[in-house]
Amino acid sequence: MYKIGENTKIESTAIIEEDVTIGSNCYIGHYTIIRPHTVIGDNSEIRAYCFIAGNVTIGNFVRIFHYCNIAMGSIIEDGVYMGVRSLLTNTRRIAWGRSYKAQIAAPHIKLGARIASGAIIMPGVTIGTNSLVGAGSLVDKDVPDLQIWFGSPAKKRGTIQADEVFKYPQR
């Protein structure tokens, strides 16, 4: 079974698997797939063609735009923005057809962080509170709170100003 909150719209082509909880006032776009054991908070939007691999926690007031991949086990806190084609990964060694077991280490995206389009977040990386990752970046190290990182590999390029800190929307 899955649980859907009030005033949540799920497009007809989305696939919501069992044991998924979606909060109130959410939107789930066309052709999005949400795998088991996922929890999505209130007032969040997951646009078309996203894949959420399961065992994922997504907070309140989150915006995940088209074609994003959210790796199994990822944690996305409140107020996070993920641009088109952002990618969260959870294993550094591909175990397919090999004799070793994949080691899973999912990313953690903290409160109010913004990830621009095309960014790739590597396994086990934490994106700090109110930080910003630039478009097309490859993030292979933790990003501290209130920092701007971009490039491949991404590195610190600046600091977030007070007017860019996430504030919960008034309802």
- pLDDT on residue 171: 62
Does the pLDDT value for residue 38 go beyond 70? yes
| Helix ranges restricted to H, 64-117 | none
Q: What are the sequence ranges of the domains in the chain?
A: 3-91+105-161
Quote the CATH superfamily of domain 3-91+105-161: Hexapeptide repeat proteins (2.160.10.10)
pTM of the model: 0.96
- For 171, counting Cβ atoms within 10 Å of its Cβ (0-12 exposed, 13-18 middle, 19+ buried), the class is exposed
Instruction: Note the pLDDT tens digit of each residue in 78-125.
Output: 999 999 999 999 999 988 899 998 899 999 999 999 999 999 999 999
d(CA 33, CA 13): 9
